[in-house]
Amino acid sequence: MMNLSDTLEIAYLGFYFSVMLVLSVYGTHRYYMTYLYYRHRRRRHTVTELRSEKRPHVTVQLPIFNERYVVERLISAVCNFDYPKDKLQIQVLDDSTDDTRQIAALEVNRWREQGVNIVHIHRDNRSGYKAGALENGLHQAEGEFIAVFDADFVPDADFVLKTIAHFDDPEIGMVQVRWGHINREFSPLTQAQSILLDGHFIIEHSARNRSGCFFNFNGTAGIWRKSAIEDAGGWQHDTLTEDLDLSYRAQLKGWRFIYLQDVISPGEVPVDINAFKSQQARWAKGSIQTAFKLLPNIIRSRMPFAIKLEAFFHLTANFAYPLLVLLSLLMPVAIIIRYKHGWYQILLLDMPCFIAATLSVCAFYLVSQREMGEATWDRIKYIPFVMSLGIGLSISNSKAVLEAIFGKQTPFDRTPKHGVFKRGDLWKSKMYRGGRSLLPWFELAMGLYYSVTLYLAVQAGHWLSIPFLFLFQLGFFYVAFTSFIQAKREA
């Protein structure tokens, strides 16, 4: 007969495995994405160019806010687009409060004198943040089609030529291209971010778009049909992911999207861990806000069940972060309980969950690198670090998800850019950094928690659990210490 202690320990393990089971379901979804990618790989959209006499009027919007290091680079790249000047309008949508305003104005004047149709639209307030700036510019847009680029991008001259032809189909509302990473080689952090984004753009976007599921504009490096934006209700700023929100609203209206995997628009990923955390938290919070806003409409729609289910997993994926934090707290005690009672057979339950929740991450990103022709040791060696980084981000992203759940409103915190390309480029003395917070102390505490757990595991000879525990320790310590060090240098 079990005593109270045994009953509580069994209940604890039951709760632990319940959390792991839900995480396993989201992990299995990565396998499903990979399956869809390969199943529909022959439906890959090809690049076509429109005959010159049919080329429509295009407006390019450049929303910026305090981007002194990259604004000239961005404007110059867009002004060099290989597209008829009489059919191209460029809007610099500037909400800046520093000298970026003057830098942008000078650059706009320089290009206007060369015959480029470019305007500098400055707002004295950030009402609606990026969405507000885009909506404000839309009222003054001359083009039938609207291309959008964030300040950290350097689009190639043939961007419009490679995308505009797909709008020959009147049902196409948006065309998104793949992001490249101009500073991938800068540091292990930028390498890891690039792999994370490659998984999203190579596997997820391709799988969703080719299989007929909802997929989304990524806020930059895409081009919209203006009437699709207006028909969907325009840019709205009640979520932090205005791009995801508009994408789903437009597709619910019946507009179809195209993803061009073979067209790449280079961009800069954050080199500052605090900026990266802020970016990821904004995306996490915004996706949950969008889920609460739009999932009821999606469920009530006449879309096939498979598409509704995929939309659910897409919009709610960041719920996994609070569960991951919970699992991180539960796991060490669960290991101790099992070994204390000699319940080694329960370890068999870990294997399916491990395959679903952990190996799925490895497989997902390995496939994305192989599809890029980059599945070499130079990329593969970063996969364990990518997994640890995801664990380390879980506290910051969990806070963002909980804010979305409880309806806490926060401002749009833009990602700082520093104009760095290669290893050794200086950035630490430049302005703009990610915001500080108390979260690194919680990340440090989790790292110490796993250090103690690792010590106990070694003492008890629990060798099978050590690699898994080490991933958690590394992730929390890396994110915590890097956050502290870079915040100190900022000061």
Cite the active site residues.
95, 243
CA distance 211 to 43: 9
* 60 bridge partner residues: 90, 147
Decide: 135 and 63 in contact? Cβ < 8 Å. no
- Bridging pattern class, strands 222-225 and 172-181: antiparallel
